[in-house]
Amino acid sequence: MPQARARRVLVTGADGFLGRSLVAALAQRSSLDAVVATDVRPVPAERRLSGVVYLAQDVRDPTLATLLAEHAIDTVVHLASIVTPGKQSSREFEYSVDVLGTRNVLEACVSHGIQHLLVSSSGAAYGYHADHPAWLVETDALRGNEVFAYAHHKRLVEEMLAQYRSSAPQLLQTVFRIGTILGEGVDNQITALFEKPRLLAIQGSESPFVFIWDTDVTGAMLHALEHRRAGCFNVAGDGALPLRAIAQRLGKPVRNLPAALLKAALAIGHALGVSRYGPEQLDFLRYRPVLLNTALKTQLGYVPAKTSSQALDAFIAARAAQGRPITGSGTRA
């Protein structure tokens, strides 16, 4: 039987945005005997915390199992994945990290007898589809979208995790399908959209967003590690905000475009090299996966401190306090 709680934890992708927050929180836990933070590149000295063992380790490296044994790890938090690929990235490389890297982590966990594996998945695993239910729950199909590497890979990873739940039931799994993360220091693909002078909307689509504050993601992870709760959970704040409501909070106008026109413009811009986004981005904005967090609250037992609405307000306030306000004063349309 597994221990009541984690004692010796290894985190992959430890120098990423979520990884740094989680490692910092784990470093404060007196109940832990060891925290091992791994990342593909060495963590700079100025970001290293006392009491944490920092190691350069690629998740694709077969020596990972040896590393788990050397540090007597009982719990693994797998955060390593490619969210925003670099300009020189390739689909093959992203697959090798996201999917093959996860397979290597799973094999290492099983061979070493790890008791608990926590994996950061994403609402993107459900994909961006016109026939989504109004609110997605954990039993809904994970369809991803093959044109989006991140969404497709998250689907493949989750299918792999399901196979291991059957073939290696002794390895407890906690899988977090995380919504759009906001926080005081967050800069991502979604926040970049909100920084535009006007928000782009697609006629006939509300494009609702669910947000989760970054410390709530960390809090949910700590809760799952402490209580050894297995299962798949949507990680999002209560409620959703349509794009027009977001624009109103930001004080910015909305530019409404027909789907066909926007798709053609994206195709031309991408072909000319003036836009990094292609016509597939239309579905990313048009068919947002809206995550219901009931299981997170009732089964995992974690209630996010901020709703989606409160997370957006906190993000706007944080940007203003940092001297880089995200709000405008345009006429809403």
pLDDT digits (tens, 9 = 90+) for 68-116: 999 999 999 999 999 888 878 899 999 999 999 999 999 999 999 999 9
Q: What's the pLDDT score for residue 138?
A: 98
Instruction: Compute CA distances 134 → 140, 152, 237, 241, 293, whole Å.
Output: 12, 21, 16, 13, 13
For the purposes of burial, counting CB atoms within 10 Å of the CB of 265, is it exposed (0-12), middle (13-18) or buried (19 or more)? Answer: middle
Phi, psi for residue 272 in degrees, rounded to 5: -85, -10
Provide CB contacts within 8 A for 85, sequence distance 6+: 94, 149
Q: What is the mean pLDDT of residues 51-67?
A: 97
Nearest C-alpha neighbor of 69 from the set 36, 44, 30: 36
The answer, yes or no, to whether residue 331 has pLDDT greater than 50, is: no
For residue 187, what are its two tokens?
């800069």
**Amino acid occupying residue 28:** Q
Q: What's the pLDDT score for residue 329?
A: 55
Q: What's the pLDDT score for residue 277?
A: 67
The answer, yes or no, to whether residue 43 has pLDDT greater than 50, is: yes
CB 227 within 8 A of CB 183: no
Please state the separation of Cα 162 from the chain's center in Å: 19
Least trusted range by pLDDT, from 81-95, 153-167, 236-250, 286-300: 81-95
**Amino acid occupying residue 120:** S
The answer, yes or no, to whether residue 118 has pLDDT greater than 80, is: yes
Q: What's the pLDDT score for residue 333?
A: 37
Q: What is the mean pLDDT of residues 244-269?
A: 89
Nearest C-alpha neighbor of 105 from the set 168, 23, 51, 15: 168
Residue 14: helix, strand or coil by DSSP?
coil
Give the CA dihedral 194, 196, 198, 200, nearest 10 degrees.
-70
Residue with structure tokens 């027909």? 258
Residue with structure tokens 């993107």? 124
> Looking only at Cα atoms, what is the longest distance across the chain?
61
- How confident is the prediction for the chain on average, in pLDDT? 93
Residue 114: helix, strand or coil by DSSP?
coil
For residue 88, what are its two tokens?
């020189």
Domains identified in the chain and CATH numbers: 8-187+212-237+291-305 (3.40.50.720)
Least trusted range by pLDDT, from 3-17, 281-295, 317-331: 317-331
Q: Band of the pLDDT at 3, cuts 50, 70, 90?
A: low
Q: What is the mean pLDDT of residues 205-230?
A: 95
E strand segments, 214-253: 231-235
For residue 65, what are its two tokens?
């199992």
Q: What's the pLDDT score for residue 181?
A: 97
Q: How far apart are the first and last CA of the chain?
A: 59
The DSSP call for residue 332 is: P
Q: For the residues of 155-186, what is the DSSP string, one character each? A: HHHHHHHHHHHHH-TTSEEEEEEE-EEE-TT-
Q: What is the pLDDT of residues 126-152, one digit of tens each?
A: 999 999 999 999 999 999 999 999 999
Element (H, E) at 116: strand 116-122
Q: What is the mean pLDDT of residues 297-303?
A: 98
Q: What's the pLDDT score for residue 200?
A: 85
Sign of CA dihedral 108, 113, 119, 125: positive
pLDDT above 90: percentage of residues in the chain: 80
Q: Band of the pLDDT at 244, cuts 50, 70, 90?
A: very high
